[in-house]
Amino acid sequence: MTQPLTGKIALVAGATRGAGRQIAVQLGAAGATVYATGRSTRERRSEMDRPETIEETAELVTAAGGTGIGVPVDHLDPDQVRRLVDRIDAEQGRLDVLVNDIWGGDPLITWEKPVWEQPLDAGFRMLRLAVDTHIITSHFALPLLIRNPGGLVVEIGDGTKEYNDRTYRLSVFYDLAKVSVNRLAFTQSHELAPHGGTAVALTPGWMRSEAMLEHYGVTEANWRDGATKEPHFVMSETPAFVGRAVAALAADPDRARWNGESVDAGGLAQVYGFTDLDGTRPHFLRYEKEVIAAGKPADDTGYR
């Protein structure tokens, strides 16, 4: 079967682990050539201090059926990002998909403290990692992306606009970071539209990243045991689910219908028909609103 993204070139910025890694892998499974960037390599770890590397991500992309190219990049450094885009231009002559998934802010979060008790240095560093990196990457990558009509930008955040508008995200800095990512997709949608491009803000649900599995003391094989610590963990999803959402958007010839929208992986699964790795379609944001926010006991019946 012909892979729908064969011949397409993607840049997944922030692809070392979690959502970014599986977005790269699922784009590869659809046939794309994927430049996967991040700061952690086999020679050097980022401040996240985790074992996942960008080389591993590239290998997983190739194993899935695409072409994976791992490039160490600090997206806060404009010169590094400029060199990255110049390389993509020289090697491919085009860019069809840009995914801004750069984050790295988890170690900097101080939860449930008012702004006057927040550490400023850590908070501003988080905002730089979450927002400045995305702007720098788009600044250099979008001139290549708009060279051909039909380009797609996906801003990966945490929570849709609707969810974040009604929800206090437990930290002024984290709140600002996630609201800003959604707004970046909205602004870029207006700037890309005259060039035939599309920008979308996309959020996963409760994602079973490598760090989340470790937090609950489980593996992907026995992840449901994590519900003994947090019952609503029954509604979690693998990072591949949001990866398949990005692949579906990229393969949709009518993707412009989503321009400027803020969407979630569970909602897109209802439209495109893709599933998580276990064959289900978890719709966490609907579950959060109807079960968690309503104070009901954990029960994923009817939400997958």
Report the interhelical angle of 239-251 vs 18-29 (nearest 10°): 50
The per-residue pLDDT string of the chain (304 residues; one tens digit each, 9 = 90 and over) reads 579 999 999 999 999 999 999 999 999 999 999 999 999 988 898 888 898 899 999 999 999 999 999 999 999 999 999 999 999 999 999 999 999 999 999 899 999 999 999 999 999 999 999 999 999 999 999 999 999 999 999 999 999 999 999 999 999 999 999 999 999 999 999 999 999 999 999 999 999 999 999 999 999 999 999 999 999 999 999 999 999 999 999 999 999 999 999 999 999 999 999 999 999 999 999 999 999 999 999 999 999 9
Domain assignment of residue 164, given as a range: 9-218+238-285
Residue 86 CB neighbour total at 10 angstroms: 12
The answer for residues whose C-beta is within 8 angstroms of residue 136's C-beta and 6 or more apart is: 75, 76, 78, 81
What is the structure's pLDDT at 96? 98
In a domain, 104, yes or no: yes
How many domains are there within the chain?
A: 1
Report the C-alpha gap between 240 and 233 in whole angstroms. 17
Q: Is 125 left (phi over 0), alpha (psi -120 to 50) or beta?
A: alpha
Report the C-alpha gap between 73 and 84 in whole angstroms. 8
In a domain, 303, yes or no: no
In a domain, 63, yes or no: yes
Stated pTM of the model: 0.96
In a domain, 300, yes or no: no
In a domain, 224, yes or no: no
Q: Output the CA angle 103-129-148, nearest 5 degrees.
A: 75
In a domain, 42, yes or no: yes
In a domain, 261, yes or no: yes
Per this entry, what is the length of the chain? 304
Alpha helix locations (H) across 161-238? Answer: 161-166, 172-192, 210-215
In a domain, 250, yes or no: yes
Beta strands 67-72 and 9-13 are unpaired
CB 14 within 8 A of CB 103: yes
Residue 130: give its domain's CATH number. Answer: 3.40.50.720
